[in-house]
Structure 1
Amino acid sequence: MLTEAVVGLPAPALRPWVDRYLGYREELPGPVVRREVAGAFVVLVLGWGDPLDITDPRAAGRGAYGANAFLAGPFDGWCATRGAGTGTGVQVLLTAPAARRLLGLPLGELANRVAPVDRVAGWLARLRDELAGEPGWPGRFRRLDAALTARLVATDPVDGRLLAAWRRLDGSGGAVGVAALADEIGWSRRHLAVRFRQEFGLPPKTVARLLRFQRAYATLGRTVLTAPAADPDGSGWAERAARWGYYDQSHLTREFREFAGAPPAALARAGSHSSNPG
């Protein structure tokens, strides 16, 4: 059960890169397993409470066990978390370009992986300890501001053509084709795919699919869906599939199974959404 959730707004210089901080405290009386959906983003958790296990059902070696401070993703498949006890910390969701800039490393090294922060960067491990030592959220958020602002000074900018390609893809919700994207920035399709994957973790075609899924998944969470009795043949899902940019209902269902581990109708039930916003 979430007992505390505090949102912090980053310093102005950070807002092009960081949307918000989420400070949390959660009490889990017994083991709780959650499914976390795939996403073309990086999740940074700087926690100091009881640890979690994070597993990828496709490959055990991609997860992390007994971790309370970790980096996850980007992921092109769903994962599961298992935890109990008291979890406390700060979560930051980063777009791939923001993570590339702030971490100072190509996301190809993080794709489809969860890694404890002390295995990724010493400054993240030190930051976690500093946050744990602060008595309140305002002081923790100020420490985050200071650390992340210092990273902007210490790291090189993201390649401008890759950044333009990401923004174009993101702005279209994944609707721009890779060939058109390559033409727009003046690279070959192959060169764009290789560089994009190296720097942002996943190839542009996969990112386009994930961006479309993320929008559909977020919409699913906000929409009051038709009751099954009023939609006996499931025709409402065909309409939603078209509205969300899928070829048909089968296409929508396949993508949701791959990225969320369940069809959209199952996820629409109360309490079925993961803690990962997609």
Structure 2
Amino acid sequence: MRYLTSTELETPVPTPESLRPWLTELTSTPVLDVGDQPFAHTPEATTTVVLRTEKSGRRAAYVIGAQTKAAYSQAQGPAGCVRLRLEPGVTRQLLGVSASELTDRAVSLAELPGPLGTFATDLTSIPADEAISYLEHTLPHHVSETDTERAHRIVLREAISSLTTDTAPSIPDLATRLAVSERQLRNIFQTGTGMSPKHFARITRLRQVLAYAGNTPWSHLAAHTGYYDQSHLTADFRTLMGVPPAAYLRGKLPAPTRCQLPR
């Protein structure tokens, strides 16, 4: 059976100017009834706020932290979503907690102490398409950032830019280039993305492989995405996706579990 990915159903939405400092992407999915169709959720290095609307009209707002490994699930029922993917380094400013406290978790937005958490009741009482306009005019007035947070966000942005190139440096070299210690770089990554710089790089590389898998020989993919060789790619793929590359392409995936969302 073919597994869907949420990105196949999402439509990018232009991000309002006032929200661009905090969002890396904004997408919308209409209310769909996909029945028992299973979903494959690939590892994700981004914290995401989800505004969910069920077919009945019931609404919920929750946060999905960075996902260190793939998950396979079935939808709870017909629903549509607006997803706000947060810029690395702004989780504490918006949600009141570091990204590392949300890694591999899904929590109700209302449980979080940051500005977005205080808006949870309002966001779940209006249609999702109105929620963006609400945030556009409300959020900028409630977000603050210390000088340290701003400095760390700049370092994190530069580090991510370096790690997502075809010639990504080693972590020690990257720390030297950014004039920080390796320990400080790891802490900045954990706080800002929810994972270490090494795991962030692994997920970035895996997503590049997934984008071209099936159309490019594995050996070529390994060479062009920074793996030592094809066996290194295969081992990392199995660890992060739960199955080897060939099985993934054939659709031989783990049995899906029922998606459990916070209430």
TM-score (norm 1): 0.72
Find 1:18's aligned residue among 20, 23, 29: 23
Cα deviation, 1:64-100, whole Å, max 9, x if unaligned, reads xxx9532112122122333232212311222322434
Q: What is the deviation of 1:217?
A: 2.4
The match for 2:179 is 186
Q: How has the CA–CA distance of structure 1 residues 144 and 161 changed in structure 2, closer, same or farther, with 3 Å as cutoff? A: closer
How many Å separate the matches in 2 of 1:149 and 1:129? 18
The match for 1:62 is none
Question: What is the correspondence of 1:45-64 to structure 2 with a 5 Å cutoff?
Answer: 45-49=50-54
The match for 2:94 is 102
Q: Does 1:28 align with 2:9?
A: no
- Specify the SS of the correspondent of 1:96: coil
> What 5-or-longer segments of structure 2 have no aligned partner?
254-263
Query: Contact (CA 8 Å) 1:169, 1:176: kept in 2 or not?
Result: no
How many Å separate the matches in 2 of 1:194 and 1:141? 32
Query: Contact (CA 8 Å) 1:101, 1:156: kept in 2 or not?
Result: no
Question: What is the correspondence of 1:114-193 to structure 2 with a 5 Å cutoff?
Answer: 114-121=106-113, 124=116, 127-134=119-126, 137=129, 139-151=130-142, 153-156=143-146, 158-161=149-152, 163-173=154-164, 175-193=168-186
Structure 1 vs Structure 2: percent identity of aligned residues? 26
Cα deviation, 1:90-120, whole Å, max 9, x if unaligned, reads 1122232243443242112112222122222
How many Å separate the matches in 2 of 1:148 and 1:202? 26
How many Å separate the matches in 2 of 1:246 and 1:214? 13
Q: What is the deviation of 1:208?
A: 1.8
Q: What is the deviation of 1:237?
A: 1.0
How many Å separate the matches in 2 of 1:122 and 1:162? 18
Query: Contact (CA 8 Å) 2:89, 2:152: kept in 1 or not?
Result: no
Q: How has the CA–CA distance of structure 1 residues 19 and 242 changed in structure 2, closer, same or farther, with 3 Å as cutoff? A: same
| Over 6 Å off, 4+ runs | none
RMSD over aligned CA atoms reads 3.4
Q: How has the CA–CA distance of structure 1 residues 250 and 119 changed in structure 2, closer, same or farther, with 3 Å as cutoff? A: same
Q: Does 1:197 align with 2:190?
A: yes
> What 5-or-longer segments of structure 1 have no aligned partner?
52-66, 227-235, 273-278
Q: Does 1:44 align with 2:49?
A: yes
Q: How many residues align?
A: 243
